[in-house]
Chains A and B, each alone.
Chain A
């Protein structure tokens, strides 16, 4: 105890001031105004953040050149990043590759932009247009065409089967036949009505290289239709399938078929009906895949795919893209330069705000909802406890 100090300090005298009139009410009003302003600012901030999240304008997609350029594929797509912007929110413009990761499709542009398209785990199929500007999707009982330059979706009247090589027409399967639609307008260009057969519940179809004909195969029967509805039927020596969406040779004379589990293909001269078999292994050597699946033609020779890799036959068979095993991919064949690959580059995930849409739309939705609530609870609890602690300290 320092009694002496206290005595002397107490002798330093200052007169108590008078309280200004309205002091109490002014103090209360100040606090109320401050609380109201803080609440308004917080509300405004949250509203602006929400508004920004909802109404973020879609970034302008890159223009597609009228005369398509050719781009090499990346040599590998092993580590595909998570949390990419949704292609519907942030259109990619032009996809060079689309790969299926089971619950989402990942689209990769020529300039290495990556985008997601969530598809859930429902059964789905997709077809990338040759110019990379559109994606025909079938999910469960819905088929639609996704425009990759705008993110817009248009419903299709049936399941998409194949694109024409110029990408201007799309064949869709409708009960009782096929319809060929103009890709720009989805207007019916021409229809193929095939007589129903109990033996052929499922048939495949491909376009001729000039898109003027459409071929269907069912078991041993091959029907070739032209725009006028005239058809020609040829018979195969056994049950075959088309050897891929570009099984019709660029010279327009032959259609190639495969039978599965072999390197052999069957060449059919569709005008004369003459067939001949060929062992592709003998012609191209390894690594031509078993069950050849032709996705494109490059310098007059086929480009094979085994689902995850692409194998151009010239100048010598070589893999041009290595994907995660088990995942399949499609390439925009009209813009791919199959002669070489480029090293993988740092991916552009898209605008960060739009990646939040992806997080919100997917499996993190629950976490997105629960975490802020938990945060608020923790903050409120901490604030209340802190206030009580302070009051206890003052009381003591």
Chain B
């Protein structure tokens, strides 16, 4: 693929999907700067392979999840580069706002692996085996991490338990 064409296609992809992807990155990291950094890494990787990756968004999402739990990445000291300015948040219903704030704060108290497992299981709606495959760990690890994450959320704020009431296969202790 011609470089100029590839660059244009990449920039079009970023313009169209970066809003969704930064959201996922933020939920995985719990920090705006870390989210931007994580997304930058994922976008750089897909840019390097642009033209050879069939589904760029799936590739970026997979990179986001794997990098968010990468120990090597956690050890590295990357200089932070601001990619933009956060816009003001829209007004919400008070109850929803309380729950959103509670979830936002609670997610930051989880480990990166617990956040990744919660996101894959309950946001991306993947099965335990798919989650394990995505994160490169055992199904048992996914189960235990899910259990620990949910119990931790419940301990932090009991109201958060209602968010997972429709998840039949998961029992929160």
* Interchain CA distance A395-B162 in the complex, whole Å: 34
**Set of chain B residues within 8 Å of A30, measured between Cβ atoms:** 44, 48
Residue numbers of A with Cβ under 8 A of B are 1-6, 8-20, 23-28, 30-31, 391, 393-395
Task: List the 10 closest A-B pairs by CB distance, nearest first.
Answer: A17-B83, A17-B84, A27-B47, A16-B19, A31-B48, A15-B87, A16-B18, A2-B122, A5-B163, A27-B44
Q: In the bound complex, what is the Cα–Cα distance between A5 and B6 (angstroms)?
A: 37
- Residue contact A8 to B163, C-beta cutoff 8 Å: yes
- Interface of A: prevailing SS: helix
Known: A8-B100, A13-B90. A24 touches B10 (CB 8 A): yes
CB–CB A15/B22 < 8 A: yes
* Alpha-carbon distance between A27 and B43 when the two chains are bound, in angstroms: 9
Asked if B142 is an interface residue, CB under 8 A from chain A, the answer is: no
Min CB gap A7→B, angstroms: 8
With A27-B47, A394-B62: A6-B123 Cβ-Cβ less than 8 Å: yes
Contact indicator A14/B83 (Cβ below 8 Å): no
A14-B86, A16-B18 known; A2 vs B10 contact (CB < 8 Å): no
Q: How far is it, in angstroms, between the C-alpha of A5 and the C-alpha of B102 when the chains are bound?
A: 12
Of the candidates B83, B85, B87, B100, which one forms a contact with A11 in the assembled complex, judged by CB atoms under 8 Å apart? B100
Give the Cβ gap from A174 to chain B, nearest Cβ, in Å: 73
Query: B residues 1-39 with Cβ under 8 Å of A?
Result: 3, 6-7, 10-11, 14-15, 18-19, 21-23, 26-27, 32, 35-36, 39
Among candidates B26, B82, B133, residue contacting A12 with C-beta atoms closer than 8 Å? B26
What are 8 A-B pairs at a CB distance below 8 A? A1-B166, A6-B122, A8-B99, A13-B90, A14-B26, A15-B19, A393-B62, A394-B55
* Contacting pair B53 A14 (CB below 8 A): no
Of the four ranges (under 10, 10 to 19, 20 to 34, 35 or more), the interface on chain B belongs to: 35 or more
Contact A17 B39 (CB under 8 A): yes
- Bound-complex Cα distance A23 to B11 (A): 9
Classify the interface of chain B: helix, strand, loop or mixed.
helix
Q: Cα distance A4–B122 when bound, in Å? A: 10
CA distance A17 to B26 in the complex (A): 12
Contact across chains for A395 and B163 when beta carbons are under 8 A apart: no
Q: Chain A residues with Cβ under 8 A from B89's Cβ?
A: 13
A-B contacts besides A17-B22, A24-B7, A394-B53, 11 pairs, CB < 8 Å: A4-B166, A6-B123, A10-B23, A11-B92, A12-B26, A12-B104, A14-B22, A18-B84, A23-B43, A27-B48, A395-B58
Q: Which A residues are in CB contact (< 8 Å) with B15?
A: 19
Q: Which residues on B sit within 8 Å (CB–CB) of A5?
A: 103, 122-123, 163-164, 167
> Cβ of B43: which chain A residues have Cβ within 8 Å of it?
19, 23, 27
- Near A by CB (< 8 A), chain B positions 123-160 give 123, 125, 133
CA gap between A24 and B47 in the complex, in Å: 6
Residues of B within 8 A of A391 (CB): 52-54
Known pairs A2-B167, A11-B96; A395 contacts B18 (CB<8 A):
no
A19→B14 contact, CB < 8 A: yes
Instruction: Give complex CA distance A107, B83 in Å.
Output: 72
Least CB separation from B57: chain A residue? A394
Q: How far is the CB of A27 from chain B (nearest CB, A)?
A: 4
CB neighbours of B167 from chain A (8 A):
1-2, 5
The answer for the CA separation of A132 and B92 in the assembled complex, in Å, is 98
CB of B84 within 8 A of CB of A16, answer yes
B36 x A17 contact (CB < 8 A)? yes
Q: A8-B96, A19-B18, A394-B55 are in contact. Are A14 and B35 (CB under 8 A)?
A: yes
Q: How far is the CA of A23 from the CA of B39 in the complex (A)?
A: 12
In the assembled complex, the CB of A14 is this many whole angstroms from the nearest CB of chain B, namely 4
Judge whether A395 and B11 touch: CB under 8 Å.
no
User: How many Å from the CB of A16 to the closest CB on chain B?
Assistant: 4
Tell me if A16 and B22 are in contact (CB < 8 A). Answer: yes
**Contact pick for A3, options B18, B86, B133, B166, CB 8 Å:** B166
CA distance A31 to B50 in the complex (A): 12
Cβ of B45: which chain A residues have Cβ within 8 Å of it?
27
The smallest C-beta distance from B97 to any residue of chain A, in angstroms, reads 8
Is the beta-carbon distance between B122 and A28 smaller than 8 angstroms? no
When distances are taken between beta carbons in the complex, the residues of chain A under 8 Å from B99 are 8
Q: Whose C-beta in chain A lies nearest to the C-beta of B41?
A: A27
B124 to chain A, nearest CB (A): 9
Alpha-carbon gap, A5 to B118, bound state (A): 10
A4–B162 touching, CB < 8 Å: yes
Other-chain residue from A3, A10, A23, A393 in contact with B44 (beta carbon distance below 8 A)? A23
Contacts of B133 in A (CB 8 A): 393
A29 to chain B, nearest CB (A): 10
Cβ-defined partner of B163 (8 Å) among A4, A16, A23, A394: A4
In the complex, what distance in Å separates the CA atom of A184 from the CA atom of B21?
A: 83
B17 to chain A, nearest CB (A): 9
The proximity string for B residues 63-93 relative to A, scoring 1 for CB distances below 8 Å and 0 otherwise, is 0000000000000000001111111011010
Q: Which single member of B54, B86, B100, B104 contacts A395 (CB below 8 Å)?
A: B54
Q: Which of B7, B23, B59, B103 contacts A8 (CB 8 A)?
A: B103
Contacting pair A19 B11 (CB below 8 A): yes
CB distance from B98 to the nearest CB of A (A): 10
